[in-house]
A and B are shown apart, each in its own frame.
Chain A
């Protein structure tokens, strides 16, 4: 009975190994399929967002896109960054010195 039981266990274990092997192969295939899909999508994104593609769309779809006119320098007003004098507090972005009440 012991020998028979051992033999049955052995056969079951071998079947289990085979099933795990098949499952491993399936998961590998799924992973490859997902990686491939990812690459395909990345490739499409790269093509659609490329400068070449955007320039062609700009030419083809003139009515859709606003005409991009180069800005001449005489139409640009520049703000000078204020440099705090010695002793003056540093100019900061949004920041409260005291906690809100």
Chain B
């Protein structure tokens, strides 16, 4: 007995002392696990907190076939709730997997369906519990949802599953991915022999850090106004593409951005690449007459002309460099610099370009931001094309001033007009307002960024005076008028370039860029349509794009409660008649 006791004691010492470390490691390997605690991706909201991208919890339905006792009953319940074919579910439950001993047996982990809505999972859990069926396990997951569907789709963008997590692929989801994605937490814990966690034996735990909230400068009410007016215009004129950007000139904040064609962020399968393009920053067009503002600004700033300087416009027929330049409607004789803008004379602005010369014109074009990315916080922005003077032809000096032979994005065009509206200051367009953590702390805020003073305030003021007259019976954009407000702007009607070289007859890119109130601009917008089908409407920016601007601006000023100019308000006869009728 003493010998037996001694043997047992020696064995005990061997196990507990001599080989303690070995068995400790073995125990840790067997029972310790590392759990990942998944972080939530941060939401994207508009300036007022309206959710644009958020997370919806869903479940992954998993079956542990090794503990299933009634596979047929379980398969029937699963198929009914998850809307799957019964045969498919039965086939999955019957899957075999080699065990620890190498023998094939029921698989302990079979994914039946992913992204199951919570209410479906709850109903499934209840029925399984009622029927006392074993083997069902739910894993928590989430999907990214975009409550506003196709609205602001090109700005918000979307995510994709990559490497076990969600990664932004386009739009703000991509450019702000580092802020939006959270940091997963980790927990080291122990499990008992049945695999259940023993919370009492948790070791190290690092909690997850949920993603930050990204707030945009966009106001969804203004976005809705722009979207509805652009939809109406696209329905009427069926352009190949259309873009509208609405900005606050003093700060560079983008209040709305609309592109057509577009797509629903929640239904992305089969969407053509064409519809996914954010044309406001990725498309390049010849701006046409809206570009005349740049040339005129340069000529005024260089003191080559004043607003009242007279320029002879050759009665609509100007020979230069072996080609003939025409004015679009009828010929003009002498026009003041002011009237060159109001009448949109190609010859007038070409002569200002000649006065400036290649190098100076090029410098003003670059100062206005053309040929450079604007720096807006969206992925995929292009620079556009501004050829350096050494590669210009003999006639480029007459074509570039009127917006041909240059490639500009809609974002660059509206930025240039914001510069004029902002008394000559070029601001960086902003789409992100601020970033806050899940606990409400401000991580980053984006104040307005001034890039440079492009032209002095006096030059900008002179341009604004000219642009105000454009939006009058004298000018080309009378239809951009907004009752009660002074509007300043410029139309553009640029012939479309042909893929074979030259220009296509009868096909245009029409646009209107403008701002209001002219004396203290609060809103600046560009409406642009590529190759509209005008029908009976004249195919000019003043007839197609300008009215869209007017409708957007009328609704926007009402929403923003901008006070109208009392001198510009006229009570119509209709109102006076109504009052008379009421009194009777």
**Residues of chain A whose beta carbon lies under 8 Å from any beta carbon of chain B:** 17-18, 20-22, 24-25, 28, 32, 36-37, 39-40, 42-43, 46-47, 49-53, 55, 70-71, 73-75, 78, 80
Contact = CB atoms under 8 A, between A and B. Distances in A.
A61 to B, nearest CB: 17
A74 B571 contact: yes
A73 B554 contact: yes
Instruction: List 9 tightest A-B contacts by C-beta distance, closest first.
Output: A21-B200, A21-B199, A74-B572, A50-B147, A52-B149, A73-B483, A46-B147, A43-B56, A46-B51
20 contacts: A21-B200, A24-B199, A25-B197, A28-B199, A32-B140, A39-B57, A42-B54, A43-B57, A43-B147, A46-B51, A46-B145, A47-B145, A50-B51, A55-B224, A55-B228, A73-B564, A74-B575, A75-B574, A78-B564, A78-B569
B55 interface: yes
A76 B564 CA distance: 11
Nearest to A25: B199
A52 B140 contact: no
A50 B198 contact: no
B558 interface: yes
B198 A18 contact: yes
A101 B306 CA distance: 70
B199 A50 contact: no
Given A43-B56, A46-B147, A52-B148, A73 B200 contact: no
Nearest to A73: B483
Main SS class of interface, A: helix
> Which size class do B's interface residues fall under?
35 or more
A34 to B, nearest CB: 12
B56 A39 contact: yes
A41 to B, nearest CB: 10
B145 A43 contact: yes
B566 A21 contact: no
In the complex, which of the residues B56, B569, B572 has the most CB atoms of chain A within 10 Å of its own CB atom?
B56
Interface string B176-207: 00000000000000000000011111000000
Nearest to B117: A40
Contacts of A36: 57, 118, 140
Contacts of A80: 566
Interface string B101-140: 0000000000000000011000000000000000000001
Contact of A21 (B56, B57, B198, B483): B198
Contacts of B555: 70
A43 B54 contact: yes
A46 B149 contact: no
A80 to B, nearest CB: 7
Nearest to B575: A74
